[in-house]
Amino acid sequence: MLHGGGAEAAEIAGQRLSRRHFLRRAMLAIWGLSTTSAIAGALEMLYPNLTRKFGASLTVGAKSVFKAAKPDKFVVNQAGVFYYQQAKTYIVHLDRATHFLLKGTDLSDQFASETIAKDADGSYWIALYQRCVHLGCTVPFRNDCLSFKCPCHGSHYNSDGEYLDGPAPRSLDRFAFHFQGEDLVVDTGVLNNRVPPPD
Ligand code: FES
């Protein structure tokens, strides 16, 4: 055991050493945390399917949850049009009695090019991206005018997202989607931005 000045010096040196250990460990911990979160962020960007976030294929629910309706009977989240926040999507489910101007092959071609699916029960499905194609505001569906109206600069889209008027350059974009058993899966990484305005 050291006495006097030697013991004091040894104690101070010991304290410095443990402080250095502590600082080194803290820095390593911070470095480890930031590296982990950087890797997680990169993985999330590159492979959104791994994290089941926007950009991935997302199961939005059982088809039976989304009650079909004709456009003049739409009520948001009750009939015909449903908002699913995680996918930033409006699910549009049109009743089988919905009237279309085209018929036969013309109608099938239009469905294919506009990302509309006809279901076995004769109803029709669309998955609309919530983002206004003017400057990106979220567009709400308005029960009072049975259409989508952007609160930012007034762009106006009909009940299936087709452009009607306002500064937007085109119709609302649509996501690819498919059915998986009884579930509806929206692929939020695949966007159709070539939907023309209504005839
Ligand atoms: S962002 Fe929607 S009208 Fe401008």
Residue 24 pLDDT: 78
pLDDT tens digits, one per residue of 22-67? 677 777 776 666 666 665 555 555 555 556 789 999 999 999 999 9
Rg for the chain (alpha carbons), in Å?
A: 28
User: What is the value of pTM for the model shown?
Assistant: 0.77
Residue 52 CB contacts under 8 Å (≥ 6 apart), including other chains: 58
Atom of ligand 1 nearest to the CA of 132: 2
pLDDT tens digits, one per residue of 4-18? 556 676 676 667 667
Residue 197 pLDDT: 86
Pocket test for ligand 1, best of 153, 163, 172 (most atoms within 8 A of CB): 153
**pLDDT over 60 at 1, yes or no:** no
Residue 46 pLDDT: 54
H helix runs in 47-141, sequence order: 48-51, 104-113
The CATH code for residues 54-192 is 2.102.10.10
The domains of the chain are located at 5-46, 54-192
d(CA 128, CA 151): 17
Task: Look at ligand 1, atom 1, and give the residue with the nearest C-alpha.
Answer: 135
